Amino acid sequence: MQDHEIHETIAILRECARQWQPGLVDDMARVEPNPYHILITTVLSLRTKDTMTAQVAPRLFALADNPHEMVRLTPEKIAETIYPVGFYRTKAKNIIDISQRLIDEYGGQVPADLDALLKLPGVGRKTANLVLTAGYNLPGICVDTHVHRISNRWGYVHTKTPEETEFALRAKLPPEYWIEYNGLLVSMGQTICHPTSPWCSKCPVIQFCARVGVTRSR
């Protein structure tokens, strides 16, 4: 993909995404951009499918809707509620620790600052950026497995890790696309551009894709 082709690519994906299932957090942000819900849901979603997270997160928020309510729960109760998400015991502890830090240091509010978010237990760059973009509509580039895979498959970046992809995109992706980039590529990755055997025959932006690493497609 040539640098100038990203503009047409994004325009096409915007139209196609109307028919695709949005990512869980993007869907939440459209209904209610609650930064605390987005933060905790993203923590739950790590190494867990959206379909499972979508079942578990509402169960947890039915018990505790904010940091003050969350710290009243025991780690065991949270673990029981969020089972069977991946690493549910570790996530339960992190959720309590995050909530307590928010109370102690930010008055129970989620900070709208990347560096502050990264200091929270269990919060990495993907989660922090997603809180900024989906929770606060602030500039950030959230790179999950779909964004990393597709950006490299296009040939738009040439990186080995999601963190490298984030910084490569910060250097070349036009700022007006930063907030929506994750949501568009997550929808595309879940619908068409699968990790193995992507639906290249159905891809609306195949003309811009270098198909890097694609050995089998449909």
C-alpha of 141 from chain center: 10
Cβ–Cβ under 8 Å, residues 179 and 139: yes
Give the residue from 159, 139, 141 showing the smallest Cα distance to 149.
Answer: 159
**What does CATH list as the number for 34-136?**
1.10.340.30
Is residue 21's pLDDT more than 90?
no
Fold of 3-21+141-208: Endonuclease Iii, domain 2 (1.10.1670)
Domain boundary assignment for the chain: 3-21+141-208, 34-136
Residue 29: count other Cβ atoms within 10 Å of its Cβ.
23
Q: How many CB atoms lie within 10 A of CB 143?
A: 28
- Give me the pLDDT at residue 22, please: 77
> Shortest CA distance to 151 belongs to which of 197, 111, 104, 184?
184
DSSP 3-state of 1: coil
pLDDT digits (tens, 9 = 90+) for 48-106: 888 899 999 999 999 999 999 999 999 999 999 999 998 999 999 999 999 999 999 99
Q: What is the pLDDT of residue 143?
A: 95
* C-alpha distances out from residue 42 to 24, 134, 139, Å: 9, 11, 18
Calculate the alpha carbon distances from 70 to 41, 109, 198, 205 in Å.
13, 13, 41, 44
Quick count: other Cβ atoms within 10 Å of Cβ 166?
23
pLDDT of residue 47: 84
Q: One fold for both 3-21+141-208 and 34-136?
A: no
Give yes or no for a contact between 137 and 33, defined as CB atoms under 8 angstroms apart: yes
pLDDT-based confidence at residue 25 (cuts at 50, 70, 90): confident
Contact assessment for residue 132 and residue 170, using Cβ atoms and an 8 Å cutoff: no
CA distance 59 to 79: 12
Lowest mean pLDDT among 17-31, 73-87, 148-162: 17-31
Name the residue among 138, 137, 141, 154 with its Cα closest to residue 189.
154
Mean pLDDT of 116-122: 95
- What is the chain's mean pLDDT, rounded? 94
